[in-house]
Amino acid sequence: MSLKPEQVRKVAFLARLRLDEDRVPEYANELSGILGLVDQLERADTDGVEPMAHPLDLAARLRVDAVSEGDQRDAFQAIAPATEGGLYLVPRVIE
The tens digit of pLDDT for each residue in 32-84 reads 999 999 999 999 999 998 888 888 888 888 888 898 899 999 999 999 999 99
pLDDT of residue 58: 80
- Cα(70)–Cα(80) distance, rounded to whole angstroms? 19
Average pLDDT over residues 29-34: 95
pLDDT of residue 4: 94
Identity of the residue numbered 77: Q
Average pLDDT over residues 20-25: 95
Better-predicted residue by pLDDT, 10 or 57: 10
3-state secondary structure of 87: strand
Positive or negative: CA dihedral 35, 39, 44, 45: positive
pLDDT of residue 74: 93
Give the chain's radius of gyration (CA, Å). Answer: 30
pLDDT of residue 2: 87
pLDDT of residue 42: 93
